[in-house]
Every structure is written in C-alpha cells, then in structure tokens.
Structure 1
Amino acid sequence: MELFRALGSLIEVPAPEHRRIAEALGLPPVPDPSVHGAVVAFQRYPYASVYLGAEGMMGGEARDRIAGFRRALGIGDGALDGGSARAAATAEEAAPRRPAGAAETDHLASLLGLLAEVDHWQRDESDPARAALLAEARVTLLWEHIVSWTAPYLVSFEACGAPFYEAWAGLLGETLAQLEAETAFPSYLPAALRTASGIADPREEGGAAFLASLLVPVRSGVIVLRDDLVRLGEEAGLACRAGERRYVLGSFLAQDPGGTLRWLAGHAREWGARVAGRGPAPIARWWAWR
C-alpha cells in the first residue's frame, strides 16, 4: 500500500525528493514545476471535489464528506496526523513533505496517503471487531472518495504531452485496478454519483446555468480541459480568447452555437468511449453513459 502513498506524492508540485521516488517506480524523469503547472495545477486539478461536486470547484459538499469520513476515523482534517509511525520507515523517508495544497482533505495525495494509513491500521489491529470496522472503512474510502472519480481523472492525462504524467497516470490506474479486483464493493453507486444532477436545461434555468453545468464533470460526465477548448477553437475556426473556461466556452457559443454544441457532443461521445471499462463496472458505466 505504500505504493499508493508514493504515487500520490508525485502529483504534487515537483520537489527534489520526487526524483528518487520516480526512479524507483521506473517512471520517466520528473519534470520541472512549470510543466506541473501547465499540465496539472491549471488544468487537471487533483481534488476530488472538482469531479464530484455540484459546482465543479474545490470545496463544498464533496470535500465535507471526506472531512466527515476522517473525523469518523478520529483523525484531523489536514494532512495525515497521528498514525505515521505505523507506516514503513523507508516510505516515510522517501515521501516528501506536502505543500499547503496537498493538506486539503480531498487532494489525491491526501486520499492515497489515508488509504495507506487505514490499511496499516487494519493489519496492525489485534482486536477482531476493530479490524473489521477498519476493513469496512477502507472499502468506503475507496468506493466513495477515490475510485468514484479517479478513472476519468487519469484518462484526462492520456496524450497530455508530458511523458512523466502520462506514465504516472498509467501506473496509478493499473495499481488501482489491481486493488479494485481484490475488493468487494457495494452494489450501489457512490453517493456523489447517485445524487448528481444532470446538465441544466437552458429553457428552464437559463443559458448561464447551462453553460456552467457543461463544465461540471459530475453533471456532464465529461472533463473539459483548457486544452480541449483550444482544440475546439482550432477545429471549429473560432477565435479563442484568453480567460477562464466558462468565459471561453461562452464566447464560442456566442460566435457559433451550433458548431460549438456539435463539437461538444462529439467530444462527449469520444470521452464516453475512453472511460468505458475504466474502474469498477458500475462507476465506469455511470461515467460512460452520463
């Protein structure tokens, strides 16, 4: 399970310690922080709440659910505290200190670190009843807060142009798939997927609500990156203005609503094919058909 902790650390801002972790895992050289910024920090935000939240932004109910889960385990809301002594000494030496962003409860590094901790607690627990509760907690953590969103997130790294992050996403995906195959998951969908609203109807909720919902992964079923919008502009022959995604997409819809919507529909079909079969079957079907 320390592999998850190591992989989680590598999605953080590159640090000197990351080089030997990457070498140990057989990954390409760690890029400089500017590549992390272009590929991860400004596009592929490593926060569960972005992909599971109703607004598609950091925080909100999705993060609150994870914070509540941590409190139920009796640990704080920041980076892992109290339990690190249970981790393997070599992994503790290799893992870099988390920057402030990774201390958020829904950051992928924090979630994968917590998964490793819960696994250690379960294996070290001598009381059968407590060990059983920790086993249930491990399944809940995986199902509700990790595999509910990581498959589409990792798919977004395909052909991103950064060999390190492409290989990292592939390795994490393979490692999660192996763990998923060994885990008995619930028959119901994770809460965030089960309760998610669909795309807003512009006839009833207005154009602004419709536009916003297109960029919310849990509502549209699609991750739309800044790079995707640049490609949309190039392929549709539209002027791509600088600004946040909502502004850029709104500009495209104003210039050519039909062409923009056709491109988005094609992107959604392509995306559905890419995520189909990734992750546990019920979750993969949900994202593919969303």
Structure 2
Amino acid sequence: MTDAHEEAGEAARWWATAVSHIEPGSIELRDRPVQDLIGTAGLVDIIWLMLRAGLPTPRESSLLEAALVAGVDHGPQAPSIAAARMAATCGVGLNNAVATGVNMLGDAHGGAGQQCVEMLTDIRDLYASRGSWQQAAQEVMADWQSRSRYLPGFGHRFHPVDPRRDPLIGLVRQAVRDNVVGGDFLHAALAVEAILERRRAGARPVPMNIDGATAVIYAELGFSAPLARGLFVLSRSVGILAHAWEESGQGRRNKGPIPRSVLPARLPQPKDA
C-alpha cells in the first residue's frame, strides 16, 4: 500500500500545476471556483486570469479586449485563413480546419507582434542609459535592420495606413494619461514611427501596423513577447473558425488555391524539356 501511495504522489507531482485544480465536484481556475467566475468574469478576464494568475482591472481588460478584437480577421487572402478554408473542403472536420489555419501562424505570418515586443523592449532598456527615445530607437533599429530589411510591426503590404493603428494607439494614449499603463512601450513605438517617417519623406510611408499597435498594448499590459504571439493566435483563431465554418457550408470539395476554371489545360513545360 505504501508503494501505491508513493506512486500516486509521484504521479500527482508530475502533473502539478497552478493553472487549475480538479477534484470530484470541484473545478478551480487559478484557485478560484469556476462557479464564482461564471456570469461574473468575461472571456478576456479569464484569458488574463489563466495567463497571469490574477484578474485585470476593468481598464486593463478593456485594453486587452481591444487588441484581441483588432486582430480577429484579415480576409481570405491571409495564408492562415486561406489554408483553413481549403482544409474545410477536404473532409477533415471543423477542428482540423481551424488547426490547419492556426498552424500557419509562424514567424513570417503571425510572429511580428512577438518580434515587435522584443524590439520595443530593447529600445525601452536602452533608453535608461541614453536618456532619449529617438537615440535608443535609432540604435536598436540599426541592429534589427542589420539582420532583416523588415522592422516588425511597421508597414503593411496591403494598407497604406493600417486602419486599426489609430484607434488602438488612441486607447493606449488615454490609458497612459489615466495611469493605467506606464507608456514606455508607446514612446518606443512612436519613436520608431517618427524615424521611419523622416527617412521616407516623400515616399510610401511605413506607419505602425496591427502587429505594432497590439505589441504596444501587450507590452504595456505586462505580457511577455512569446505571449504576444499566443494572444494573436487566440484572436485570429476566431476569424479562422468563422471562415472555415462558412466554407464548410458552400458545398465545395477539395478547394484549391485558384478556381478550376482558370487552371491551364496543360501545365507549362520547362524550356529545356
């Protein structure tokens, strides 16, 4: 019997977690009985609770919700959504279609928010010794652009000005004025934007995009850079689900990337064939 108790204790320690506790007749999320949360806490509050082990203030919850709403969808041309729509016609089921879309969210498509939080954090840290947001931003930008031509969170391949930028940054500005957040990451992002505007005077602007604006919010609220990507995945999965569900009701089978009607009758052959 002692051996059995020791094995049970070892198994319990193996799966020990502070996230939830389940016993017969009892479900606790971060030590809070689920029945106390049902009807009193919103979904965004629960996301915060599960990730941060506490509940947000109403203003923090509202700011996080704004970021999540802004990233929900960007049309069927987005690779994650296109992949989910095609998967939905292949007989794999709705959950598999959503998983297909979510699994498309990588460094190039879906990772810019995480990368932007990392860049803004570098600027914030350097500001402590430079005493100038512009100087700190210039140095960090130079380092980032020595490795990549792209600055995460700035510019958009489709929108000259991302329509989500202004309302999100406006909410952050108000939150700073009301002492809800500190404002360091906002200052860092605006410094980058100002430098890019001066560099590209007369050319196509490279303003902050959705990844940059939400990165500011996630960082100001204290979420780590990897969680910025995780939160974006939660947000975009809503749009992925909606598109997969719509596609599943349209009766197509094995949908490809282009309509069959425009497929060439014969694929072009190599010149040396």
Could you say which TM-score interval applies, normalised by the shorter chain? under 0.3
- Could you state the TM-score of these two structures normalised by the residue count of structure 1? 0.27
- Could you state the TM-score of these two structures normalised by the residue count of structure 2? 0.28
- Higher relative helix content: 1
Higher normalized contact order (CA 8 Å, seq sep 6+, divided by chain length)? 2
